[in-house]
Amino acid sequence: REDIAIATKEFQLDFRSEVEPIYRNLLALLLEENRPEQRQKALEIFDLLQLSQLESFFGDICLEVKSTISPQELLAKTNSVAITSIILKDKTYLLLQLPDGSLSRYPIEIKAEQLNQTIEQWRWDLENSWNNQYRGKSQVLYELLIRPLESTLAVYKPKTLVFINDGILRNVPMAALHDGRQFLIEKYAVANSFGLKFTLELKSPDLEALSFGLTVAKARFKAPLPNAAPETEAVQQMFGGSRFLNEKFTAKNFEEQIEKRDYSIIHLATHGKFAGTLEGTYIQAFDRSISLLEIEHLLDERQSPIKLLTFSACQTAGGNDRAVLGLAGVSVRSGVRTALGTLWSVSDAKIAELIEDFYRFWHSGLSLSEALRQAQLKQISLDNSHPGNWSASILIGNWH
């Protein structure tokens, strides 16, 4: 892994063609037979693959912060189960981790090419909220990814499903899977993780927010975000702290404010993009873009970790299975407990309403995953509740 991290960019590009297949061939061998020790080893190898992907993305060694709580204890404490997807050339596997420590394996008979095509089409249907074509793929993917687990889930009755997804599955919202009667989010809270051993505990510090918003169109982002003003105002009213809009949201002030005080919440209501490369991942300030690497370096220097980092108007590249690595990487590498991001562009008014509801539910004492669930359920209850309007917001990291 160290060689991957320090190698030239050209070699890093070879990671996917030369190094990643070695991991996946080993995973295929381990998962072929359904033996407990092989299932556990496969989970460990998948964690290594994820870290290597991060190191290839960031171009340096990933000094991940490891959890001080065991996966079993974490799941039991939060009444959750973890579902890991591993996409291989000829088959996909699901690994289900339960609070009692057991680990089950579910082979899904679908080739990677077909699964990826289905996922890409589903995401396109979700993004285009003017049509209702999403329902077919929502149900197809539910049958593949959730139906095999239903009998076990019915026994354990978890509150939260934590997805540790592989490849392009990271780019779609599991909350929008549909069983023919209801969305998955109507049955469970849903969260995403890069791996349970990287999920850091949430302490209970005083919550104070540092909010930045950009209401005007800037650079390549032509759409203004007028609701960034009331959105950041609502965050400040609930959690106190400081708020900076437009001309006061400069790259220099962003740096100074983060360095000046240890806020537990950083809220960014501005355009941004999470692409498949580090160079293409950034947020937009008033005067210039701020790269993900700049954000990471600022967070690295803090004395206490960020409890919640919110990107409320950013988007990920739909067809790129590395696009979410930047968002996940901030958590793993900088000790951010939880990141909240959006998978695609949503109406400014709709995303602001959902984000404000999320904060209100969290402020009232709900867990992060349940707060997001309640905010999404509120949207579903409204007319024209297309999942493209509410499911784009996802949690990565500690969901409790």
Distance CA 248, CA 291 (A): 18
Length of the chain: 400
Q: Is residue 118 part of a domain?
A: yes
In this structure, are 302 and 174 located in the same domain?
no
Same domain, 164 and 34: no
User: If DSSP codes are grouped into helix, strand and coil, which group holds residue 20?
Assistant: helix
DSSP H or E segment with residue 51: helix 36-58
Choosing from 173, 198, 223, the residue where a domain stops is 198
Neighbours of 139 (CB within 10 A): 15
pLDDT at 321: 82
Number of domains in the chain: 3
Together in a domain, 236 and 141 = no
Q: Which of 41-55, 60-74, 297-311 has the highest mean pLDDT?
A: 41-55
277-288, pLDDT tens digit by residue? 888 899 999 999
pLDDT per residue as tens digits for the range 137-177: 999 999 999 999 999 999 999 999 999 999 999 999 999 99
163-214: per-residue pLDDT in tens? 999 999 999 999 999 999 999 999 999 999 999 988 877 666 679 999 999 9
360 in a structural domain: yes
The two tokens of residue 174 are 């599991």
Half-sphere exposure of residue 176: CA atoms within 13 angstroms, side-chain side: 30
Is 204 among the domain residues? no
Does residue 203 belong to any structural domain of this protein? no
pLDDT tens digit sequence for 347-383: 999 999 999 999 999 999 999 999 999 999 999 998 6
Name the residue range of residue 313's domain. Answer: 209-397
Helix, strand, coil: what percent of the chain each, to 5? 45, 20, 35
Contacts of 168 by beta carbon, 8 Å cutoff, 6+ apart = 87, 116, 119, 120, 319, 320, 321
Write the single-letter amino acid at 152: T
Amino acid 134 reads Y
Please give the model's pTM, rounded to 2 decimal places: 0.94
pLDDT given at position 335: 82
In a domain, 263, yes or no: yes
H-type helices in 146-276, by residue range? Answer: 150-156, 228-239, 251-260
Structure tokens given for 29: 């061998």
Task: Give the domain CATH number at 380.
Answer: 3.40.50.1460
Verify that 194 and 213 share a domain, yes or no: no
Q: For the segment 101-134, what is each residue's pLDDT rounded down to a tens digit?
A: 999 999 999 999 999 999 999 999 999 988 889 9
Q: What average pLDDT score do residues 292-305 get?
A: 87
76 in the same domain as 53: no
Taking the C-alpha atoms of residue 126 and residue 172, their distance in angstroms, rounded to an integer, is 9
Torsion from C-alpha of 172, 175, 180, 181, nearest 10 degrees: -160
CA distance 186 to 292: 33
What is the percentage of the chain residues whose pLDDT exceeds 70? 92
